[in-house]
Amino acid sequence: MKKSKSALAMLIAGFVVTSMGTVASGQLEPGATEPVARFDGHRVYRVTVKDAREYLAVTSLADDVWTHSPGLGDLDVQVSPGKQAALEGLGLPTRVLIADVQGAIEAERAEILKRRGQRDLAWFQNFKTLAEINTQITAWTTAYPALASSITVGNSLENRVIKGVKITGPESAEFPKASRPQILFNGCQHAREWISPMVNMYLGDQFLMQYASGGIAKDLLDRVEFVIVPVVNPDGYEYTWTTNRLWRKNRRNNGGSFGVDLNRNWGYQWGGEGASTNPSDETYRGASAFSEPETQVMRNMVLANTRLRAAIDFHSYSQLILSPWSYTSALPPDAAIFDVLNASMQSAIQGVHGQFYDAGPTYTTIYPASGSSGDWYYGAGSTARKILSWGFELRDTGANGFLLPADQIIPNGEEIMAGMIELASAIAFPAKISLPDGVPSFVGANATSTVRVSVSASPGETLNASSLKSYARMGSGSFAPTALSSLDGSLYNATLPAAGCGSSIDFYIEAMTTSGKTVRLPAGAPAAFYSTPAAELTLTLDDTCEVNNGWSLVSAGDNATTGRWELADPNATAAQPGDDHTTAGTKCFVTDGRGGAVGDYDIDGGKTTLTSPSFSGLGSGSSVSYGTIVSYWRWYSNNQGSNAGTDTMPVEISGDNGATWHALETVNENAGAWVFKSFVVNSVVAPSATMKIRFIAQDQGGGSIVEAAVDDVKVTVAACPLDPADVNGDGFVNGDDYDLFAEWFESANLLADFNHDGFVNGDDFDAFAEEFEN
């Protein structure tokens, strides 16, 4: 949420917000030393304010401001019962996010207790106490002694241990541990942000578990060391479990109030905008920079770990990726690097569950915040080396705020894991190589073929253009290099050699930087490589969607009131494409292609279904089919509106002319671009002569903006001519064929008439044996 920057900053700095609530006399939680804070009748509102007067009017009525860094625009405020009528009477755009704060807290606690009682509940299916988090870190070091080692960062104000873990692969000559770059993840500077330590723990857990399976987790751990500190503010975190669920700061006794905002206490540009001098304020900066033991020991750890190259400070909520600076609107020296990495992480996160995270410099993306950890990591903690730093605001965007349900832990962790893989890859590898369309399921036989490759240098590196090569082979011979041919920007074509039908081509990609560093895809090449079979490729459907060739635009059960499928030349909006995908075409299937405002013609009220005509997925009778490939280009958008990211678009396929359907994919990514998808459908449904595919776009409630489009649909059958010696027709010539032919021959079965002269004799056996040996 972007806010105006003006003298309003002074107003905010002077505004006092406390999150004390009321206390119930004598009511204590286990471990509590004072009555439990209650928020009976409190509500959380989202109010849109456009100037300083409106801001002051709203915040003067607020018991607490939940918005991460308050300013103009949307403001989330917690209001007690006696002030709610006054707030609603201001006449400002207002809606209730949480109607009963105390009820939500009690429901959260009841759900936690319920889940604790469930057998076989996964660790990340419930929120965890400080003791449980620390115990899990110890368990990691026991389960993964070659990968994980626990660390003690220091002690808190109340002498609780601030515990962490270092995670990296075993020692290797190629990537010595002592020279591996480090990446820091830390969380819970603000005590009430419970999703923060859980996501930190999820990242560690996934890197450890996935290491043994190889792939990107192993590639990264063999090159990088992750340092994870899940709970920087253990006193405050413990206090949220025992006494006040909505406590934010540490537990410093200020003489009449408690707490310092740890994320305003770091020593780079301490004491500026966005931090308060009032000890009762939720953003109180402390008596001096690094006045708090929690920030002191974190500072000391960073200074001692001289290999740190990146740091992420996790918070909640608002779904934001925030890079430096926080204290000023001036861009940092590495603004271009941050822009690239912000976009890379943003795209990776959105590709998992469709959740959009706004990205940019903290000051201009949300509001000023001096004395933050991110500014110190980048500005002061990196005097001898560069530490790229971010603050992340995790789920959600306000529906639950700090009281995020436990069922959001794993999906939030999954999407952040994707973003952290992008970041770690940029740190670990001097260049990034990918195959935008994936490894081809098949390539055409007896002709060269191309595979699209994306190659880009990591921040601080430059590609050596002459080094970009593909290496390919057939059989067990040596790999032969071929230069990549440039397409556009970071896109290239890798040319694969011609291969006979039924044989396979092995290949990998290599790139070097001008600094002499080499990157290969897959990372373990040449010992690891991709392999794709060659076959004769026959199109049974090739629809550019310029005319309607029998597609159905409505199905039984469709109930969308707007945004129904049509064949049209789309008009661009913030959610829908302005052009089809076909190079020489203009039309595509789109959910109402009219333009206007983003929500004018999007899908509302239910679902709308696009169904293909019947097509064949079979090859000829004289060939052996290896697979039926269905491919298409699609556009999908669901990242806008008040209920963004909650809907999906199922894509289904039928092998019996639509009588039954099987899931091909469920679309939830919001790429904001045409995306190519290709599937070998044999594992989903048996190919037949009467197949169909359908796309179900839907808005199932809330205020989401949903748009979809489909173009360039193809169906390809990959097959090879049947070998005469393959008498059992399984696609292979082996002993089973020999035994079957011998059985036919011995019984004088006319199936053994191999030369088709009407007789079964030695000539047939000789002819079969010759084909079999060849």
Cα–Cα dist 321/67, whole Å: 15
Contact assessment for residue 426 and residue 347, using Cβ atoms and an 8 Å cutoff = no
Cα–Cα dist 462/430, whole Å: 9
Q: What angle do CA 218, 219, 223 make, to 5 degrees?
A: 105
* CB environment 387-414: b (16+ within 10 A), e (fewer): bbbbbbbbbbbbbbbbbbbbeebeebbe
The residue among 264, 268, 131, 276 whose CA lies nearest residue 190 is 264
Residue located via tokens 């409505």: 554
Question: 21 in the Ramachandran plot: left (φ > 0), alpha (ψ -120 to 50) or beta?
Answer: left
Q: Tell me the residue type at 281.
A: D
Per the annotation, the verdict on 393 as an active-site residue is yes
HEC profile for 219-232? HHHCCCEEEEECCC
Query: Which run of H or E residues covers position 523?
Result: none
DSSP assignment string, 593-652: ---SSTTSSS-BSSEEEEEPPPB-----TTEEEEEEEEEEEEEEEEEEETTTT---EEEE
Question: What would the two tokens of residue 321 be?
Answer: 């990726």
The residue among 325, 343, 525, 519 whose CA lies nearest residue 423 is 343
Three-state SS at 187: strand
The residue among 123, 142, 144 whose CA lies nearest residue 208 is 144
From the number of C-beta atoms within 10 Å of its C-beta (0-12, 13-18, 19+), residue 72 rates as buried
How distant, in Å, are the alpha carbons of 369, 625, 626 from that of 481?
52, 31, 28
The residue among 521, 298, 329, 304 whose CA lies nearest residue 431 is 521
Q: What angle do CA 341, 347, 350 make, to 5 degrees?
A: 135
Catalytic residue among 225, 393, 510, 707: 393
Helices 409-428 and 335-353 meet at what angle, rounded to 10?
140
Q: Are strands 491-496 and 485-488 parallel, antiparallel or unpaired?
A: antiparallel
The residue among 143, 178, 148 whose CA lies nearest residue 164 is 148
Q: What angle do CA 199, 205, 209 make, to 5 degrees?
A: 145
Q: Do you find a cis peptide bond into 317, omega within 30 degrees of 0? A: yes
Q: What sign does the dihedral 352-107-402-396 (CA atoms) show?
A: positive
Contact assessment for residue 652 and residue 664, using Cβ atoms and an 8 Å cutoff = yes
Contact assessment for residue 77 and residue 58, using Cβ atoms and an 8 Å cutoff = yes
Q: Are strands 308-316 and 320-323 parallel, antiparallel or unpaired?
A: unpaired
How distant, in Å, are the alpha carbons of 64, 251, 279, 287, 722 from that of 254?
19, 9, 6, 9, 85
* Residues carrying an active site annotation: 393
